[in-house]
Amino acid sequence: MSKAHLELTGVQMAFDTPAGPFIALDDLNLKIDKGEFVSLIGHSGCGKSTVLNIVAGLLKATRGGCVLDGHEVNEPGPERAVVFQNHSLMPWLTVYENVELAVQQVFRKRMSKRERKEWILHNLALVHMDHALDKRPGEISGGMAQRVGIARALAMKPSVLLMDEPFGALDALTRAHLQDSLMEIQQELNNTVIMITHDVDEAVLLSDRIIMMTNGPAATVGEDLAIELPRPRDRVTLADDPAYVRYRQAVLSFLYEKQRFPGKEPASEKDDGQQQRTGETRRGLRAIA
């Protein structure tokens, strides 16, 4: 039986394509402790969402697997809540009703009606959305809708919160506010969080550990970087902190020197964008080839 809270062992993921199997992930191993905040970072198409979907139980690894608290993950479950980049709220339900739907699913038998109501209000207050209970998703901003999505996920009391670029579609200020709220909430609740991000600063600011993935196909864990910065963390103070700067450089070096272009020497800084696009195009072509 696994001792880690969450453990991915020898994971291989092969997708069927018209040209035969496409090996997206190969021999990926990852152990995560309870309450850890882990970010997955890597170039576009390397397999981050595939990893998250395997943990969520939405995809089944072709080899190896995922064990959570000693039980193999074979299907989605309420103890693993997922927050996507676009909030995915029900447009015809109010803010309150959207969270209520999730709470009913999980706690209908375990909480009285009054307890459920208090719990819904508590979670919406956590993300500072208790002032808009009767609004529908179309009547609130993208950042507010994303807050409600996070409240809905937290209200399920998941032991693992899975976030696929949760702040990717938001403007910089809203993003900063939500990152701060997430840090506060996570400190209070001690959930395990796995978050996909493309933002190096976000990864360093929020994470206990950054998992850097190699380029696909057959992607795996390239580097595993523990972020030992004291909490609570303040973005303004950290900006000049030598340790923060070193962590940031380590991730940038992985992404733009070590993994920038598989099988080739790093090119000059000037054509970075071109290299990046070419790499992505190649991976895209391999995926459909």
Q: Which lies closer to ligand ATP via its Cβ, residue 201 or residue 280?
A: 280
Least separation in angstroms between CB 219 and ligand ATP: 7
What is the largest distance, in Å, between two alpha-carbon atoms of the chain?
Answer: 63
Q: Which residues lie near ligand ATP (CB under 6 A)?
A: 15, 17, 22, 24, 42, 44-50, 216, 283, 287
Question: Which amino acid does the sequence have at 153?
Answer: A
Q: Which lies closer to ligand ATP via its Cβ, residue 12 or residue 123?
A: 12
The β-bridge partners of 169 are none
Residues 6 or more apart whose CB falls under 8 angstroms from that of 10 comprise 27, 28, 29, 63, 64
Least separation in angstroms between CB 96 and ligand ATP: 32
Question: Which amino acid does the sequence have at 152?
Answer: R
Q: Which lies closer to ligand ATP via its Cβ, residue 46 or residue 183?
A: 46
Residues 6 or more apart whose CB falls under 8 angstroms from that of 248 comprise 200, 201, 204
Say how far apart CA 204 and CA 191 lie, in whole Å. Answer: 18
- DSSP letter at 229 equals -
Q: Which lies closer to ligand ATP via its Cβ, residue 45 or residue 137?
A: 45
* Nearest alpha-carbon partner for 5 in 91, 100, 71: 71
Q: Which lies closer to ligand ATP via its Cβ, residue 2 or residue 85?
A: 85
Least separation in angstroms between CB 170 and ligand ATP: 17
Least separation in angstroms between CB 70 and ligand ATP: 26
Least separation in angstroms between CB 56 and ligand ATP: 12
Query: How many residues would you count in the chain?
Result: 289
CB 162 within 8 A of CB 106: no
